Amino acid sequence: MAKIRKTASIENGLMEVVQILSEEEIQAAIGKGASYVRKCSDPQQQQEIDHNDSFKLDKACIAKGKAPPLLTSHEYMIAHELENINTDGSKDLSQILVRSTILHGKLTELIHNAQHPKSDKGIEISVLEKKDIFEAIKDLEDKILKIKLTIDNKK
């Protein structure tokens, strides 16, 4: 029977790693097999994955063109803890979705303007434009994380 894992937990991140990387890629990254990673992903077992191993697994996922699942899990857990401390009352999903739409629009506009022939470097994106785009991406990622937290916390 499949074991249920929390959406963005370390256990779920490890299962994503197993789906992304082959046995050989896992072995090359950490010197251990996929069965070790699956064992560490068991939510009923104590976590034993070494931090350096989790970094190496994420690095291997990035090299394969995939998002780093363990980093995402860590970000989620930290954001969740911050959410428990933060009492600003902004847990209304509709408001969060509106804000994420605004941030998406800002990102789209920045990219469009950066590629405009009359921008700093024409159709090539300048260093300053890249900085602004990456900040907009980070803001949108933070908002998506907040959406996940809000949905996860809904009873």
| pTM reported for the whole predicted model | 0.57
pLDDT of residue 85: 61
Name the pLDDT band for 84 (thresholds 50, 70, 90).
Answer: low
CA distance readout (Å), 100 to 66, 107, 141: 23, 10, 9
Q: State how far the Cα of 115 lies from the Cα of 109, in Å rounded to an integer.
A: 10
Domain ranges of the chain: 10-78, 87-153
CA-based angle 142:145:150, to the nearest 5?
Answer: 125
Whether 86 has a pLDDT exceeding 60, the answer reads: no
Whether 90 has a pLDDT exceeding 60, the answer reads: no
Q: State how far the Cα of 5 lies from the Cα of 55, in Å rounded to an integer.
A: 20
Between residues 111 and 78, the one the model is more confident about? 111
Three-state SS at 12: helix
Instruction: Name residue 132's amino acid.
Output: D
